Chains A and B, each alone.
Chain A
């Protein structure tokens, strides 16, 4: 297996850990379950 594939497999595990951390936050599950909204209506949640 190439080094870059190994690195990307490690990165996948980091992504999994990050998703778990988001899920554990107060509104994380709701955010992850939302459909892919391109922008929210709220001023403070507005996408860049």
Chain B
């Protein structure tokens, strides 16, 4: 008899807490989606150290499909107001200068942190925290820019709920490109493993730029180049465009 998913202690534990969350908050709740996403990160963290673990490889594919399906059925709440598409192919999105200066300039100047331009996996593992969520953009020069401070689970949950803020400065994607406010992709990114062998999980969640699914191609190309990884070591989740 072959090894089943439930024989792996990590998969079994995630299944247990996901079932509890589904019962408490609902099967389509963001609590459940977050747990699926965290399971993907855990499974990839183990898999990058033991690439022969077929059970985990299969589970990565199941999780990727399940997460994307949930993203497809949730979608944007609205279309946003302060950004516009400058170009369709390749995608180029610009954020409103006046709104940025009024809403975010002071916070950016006060926090004393700026986005890092990552050019290699060594760069990434020197400056980012593996397994943790960082926000990123691909700018108009196709550079990968990442905010060095990771986001906590609470920030991720409350960042998605109206009228909830944590104390302190809230970092948003336009703050990564204050000079030109233009991106080709934007979202959240997690690196796993180490500089010699790594995997990357990313998405297109940016309420300020609302990147269309086509941005995934841009990001994939940049990740291949920066991290020297193949497509099987990259997950990119896209967000459907709002219904206008």
Contact = CB atoms under 8 A, between A and B. Distances in A.
Interface of A: 1-2, 4-5, 7-9, 11-12, 15-16, 18-19, 21-22, 27-48
B153 A42 contact: no
A9 B35 contact: no
B10 A39 contact: no
B30 A18 contact: no
Contacts of B29: 32-36
Contacts of A2: 46, 49-50
A38 B13 contact: no
A48 B160 CA distance: 9
B200 to A, nearest CB: 17
Contacts of B207: 38-40, 46-48
B31 A19 contact: yes
Most buried by A among B14, B153, B164, B210: B164
Contact of A46 (B33, B135, B188, B208): B208
A5 B29 CA distance: 27
B167 to A, nearest CB: 13
Nearest to B12: A9
Nearest to B35: A15
Contact of A12 (B13, B28, B165): B13
B56 to A, nearest CB: 10
A32 B159 CA distance: 12
A38 B208 CA distance: 11
8 contacts: A4-B45, A11-B38, A12-B38, A15-B38, A31-B157, A38-B239, A40-B161, A48-B206
Contacts of B160: 31, 34, 36-40, 45, 47
Nearest to B103: A43
